[in-house]
Chain A
Amino acid sequence: MATTSIGAQFAKPTPPNATDKRWKLVDATMRRLGHHPRALIESLHTVQETFGYLDEEALRYVAASLRVPLSKAYGVATFYHFFTLKPAGEHTCVVCMGTACYIKGAPQLLSSLKKELGVGPGQTTPDGQVSVLTARCLGSCGLAPAVVYDKDVAGKVTAQELRDRIAKWKPHVS
């Protein structure tokens, strides 16, 4: 009887939304690593890559599938800066705050963004259009200061360029 109850307790959980095919990608990662608790970080990477962020449902599902306590999964998700528990805006603007960028004017870029959009690092404009983020170091130090607009890295950015680029996103309100 003991064995059946353990089996029942660890029955394979079902994805939060079975019709959403994206969960297949998450399942594939967990399967590749044998549903071992060790696979936690890799699985969370896949969730974030596929869905853009980690929500409670996803954390619950991954934790249950890997038999990791939810508290531990939440601990890992909040420990690492790369994981985000909130969805990002339509566009993201990542200002690199590495040493080279810092001494070449990244703080001024951030304050210019704050003036323009009214939001600081880690925040999204109320209309959900633009998220402002900072990066520890993009490794593009030769091009400092560097900014990533959505997925495009731009180097030697000036405050004017930054404003122009943001302005292009603005009228894009649907």
Chain B
Amino acid sequence: MSPEELEQIAEEERERQAGFKHKVHVCVAAGCQSCQSDSVKSALEQELSKRDIPGGCQVKGVGCMGLCAEGPLVSTNRNVLYQKVGAQDSSAILDSLEGDPVANLVCPTDVPFFQSQKKIVLENSGNIDPERIEDYIAASGYTALMQVLTEMSPGQVIEEVSRSGLRGRGGAGYPTGLKWSTVAKASGERKYVICNADEGDPGAFMDRSVLESDPHRVLEGMLIGAYAVGASEGFIYVRAEYPLAIKRLRIAIKQAERLGILGNNICGTRFSFRIDLRLGAGAFVCGEETALISSVEGKRGTPRPRPPYPAQEGLFGEPTLINNVETYANIPPIIRFGGDWYAQIGTEKSKGTKVFALAGRVKNTGLVEVPMGITLRQIVYDIGGGIPDGKKYKAVQTGGPSGGCLPEEFLDMPVDYENLAKAGSIMGSGGMIVMDESSCMVDVAKYFMDFCMSESCGKCVPCRVGTYQMNRILESITRYEASEREVAELQELTDLLKNTSLCGLGQSAPNPVISTMRYFPEEYKAHVEEKNCPAGVCNGDHEEQP
């Protein structure tokens, strides 16, 4: 594979696509698939085979279009988006290719949900077929890799990434360029590159969507990273709970190998790189990098103290670069358009865009990509469409079990790493759960503590025993049995866990409790003193509504 050959594949694919006057895209990512988008696609294909459409028409399965709540989604190349499409709608959609769109299915696209987004990571989602490498190449795919291999030294690549200001999208926000240069400088017999696709935060599905919609982008980011740090072998650690993402990654790796984009002497250079998948097996702690490494080695996923950091001593004791899916997905555009271009987007310290999984009590649930520095109000009310059923906003939870709940007073805060940390939450991987007055914040804190308790790996005592004790106190609060003394004990335990746990799981496990105690003290008070749950969740009648 040479740059010329790549260009030729892109040309041929573009020509092939230009041969169709009409294009109908059906979302085949997991969200819409669970609303039977597969049957919509086959109905459209069947209907298409029966008729002769002048100018030709192509029906294509594509990745996530974002508005998962209204799926299955279908779009056409005349900028029409259809929502909640059923198989029976296929002939109406094909009938209206030339004329007016099918009125009862149209989803308006001139709304903030679509207009306020800025797509970098998701630029191809909803446009390309995730199971065809040619489609990715036609969308300028792998040109960044070619540019890196033929024109840039590893040092120049790292400099470009550093200049972009990109920070790790897994949650902690460590500068990516700095991490890469540490691994590049480390000495070792071999070096490894790992992609962390163990998206364990409940309420987060950004990585899943990127892997299902645009898997080649992640491979390209890993390849560029491997070239920059001098690695020859890579692993993608992906959750076994994401079968579709696994299937598409396997297809993508095979296709890249066939074209010589993965393998020995890529692009005629001395650079060789192989990627293998490793399936996670349902352990939240494996999102922590040292635990993940242990799991890739086939062992129990328990973390170890750092330093040494994986950049010096990682997988099999060798220097290892670990980044998250979204971080790698940002790399190709940074190389293509330059670090300076990327650095223009976002705030002073947090550059670029961030993908959020918007869910919970909000009208437009789905996947959104916004520039850093946008306010929570813009995300929840403009893009998310506000709270449904006339209910009142209570909090937005970011960062999953390691994050916190932000009340109304933070709605106008610009979202970036520093501000979220100051407010007592974290960016996390990008889950954003909106809660209204029907949620009890003590119950939410208990939910997360229960999660951390059962996900604690058991290696260090503060986390193993502390999460159990905190969960027990929270349970007794929600049963109206707790005393003031127990609440004080809960507070004490938050400090203990934060300061003495071995890894991030234990250190951040108290965050949901700390933030709810800080911003919603009246709810704790009501449970303890008045034996009452203001939201009506803890009244024991957890039974179903009629």
Partner of A37, one of B200, B298, B447: B298
B30 contacts A139, C-beta separation under 8 Å? yes
Partner of A139, one of B205, B281, B361: B205
B357 contacts A82, C-beta separation under 8 Å? no
B203 contacts A42, C-beta separation under 8 Å? no
A141 contacts B279, C-beta separation under 8 Å? no
B204 contacts A155, C-beta separation under 8 Å? no
> Which residues of B lie under 8 Å from residue A103 when comparing CB positions?
360-361, 433, 435, 438-439, 444
Q: Counting chain B CB atoms within 10 Å of each CB, which of A99, A108, A111, A146 scores highest?
A: A99
B233 at the interface (CB under 8 A from A): no
> Which residues of A lie under 8 Å from residue B203 when comparing CB positions?
98-100, 137, 141
**Interface digits, A136-161 against B, CB 8 Å rule (1 contact, 0 not)?**
11111111101000001111000100
Q: Counting chain B CB atoms within 10 Å of each CB, which of A75, A138, A139 scores highest?
A: A139
Distance between Cα atoms of A155 and B438 in the complex (Å)? 20
Distance between Cα atoms of A152 and B67 in the complex (Å)? 21
A76 contacts B240, C-beta separation under 8 Å? no
Partner of A45, one of B35, B281, B283: B281
> Which residues of B lie under 8 Å from residue A44 when comparing CB positions?
281
A26 at the interface (CB under 8 A from B): no
Q: Decide yes or no: A140 and B301 within 8 Å by CB, A81-B283, A103-B435, A107-B542 being known contacts.
A: no
Sort chain A's interface into a size bin.
Answer: 35 or more
> Which residues of B lie under 8 Å from residue A83 when comparing CB positions?
281-282
> Which residues of B lie under 8 Å from residue A42 when comparing CB positions?
278-279, 298
Partner of A142, one of B359, B435, B542, B544: B359
Q: Counting chain A CB atoms within 10 Å of each CB, which of B203, B431, B543 scores highest?
A: B203
> Which B1-59 residues have C-beta < 8 A from chain A?
30-31, 33-35
B545 contacts A108, C-beta separation under 8 Å? yes
B312 at the interface (CB under 8 A from A): no
Return the chain A residue nearest B440 by Cβ.
Answer: A103
A144 contacts B279, C-beta separation under 8 Å? no
Q: Counting chain A CB atoms within 10 Å of each CB, which of B33, B241, B281, B301 scores highest?
A: B281
| CB-defined A-B contacts under 8 Å, sample of 8 | A76-B299, A100-B203, A107-B542, A139-B204, A139-B241, A142-B359, A144-B359, A155-B34
Identify 7 new A-B residue pairs, CB closer than 8 A, beyond the known A99-B447, A137-B241, A139-B204. Answer: A38-B298, A39-B298, A99-B359, A108-B544, A139-B199, A141-B204, A154-B34
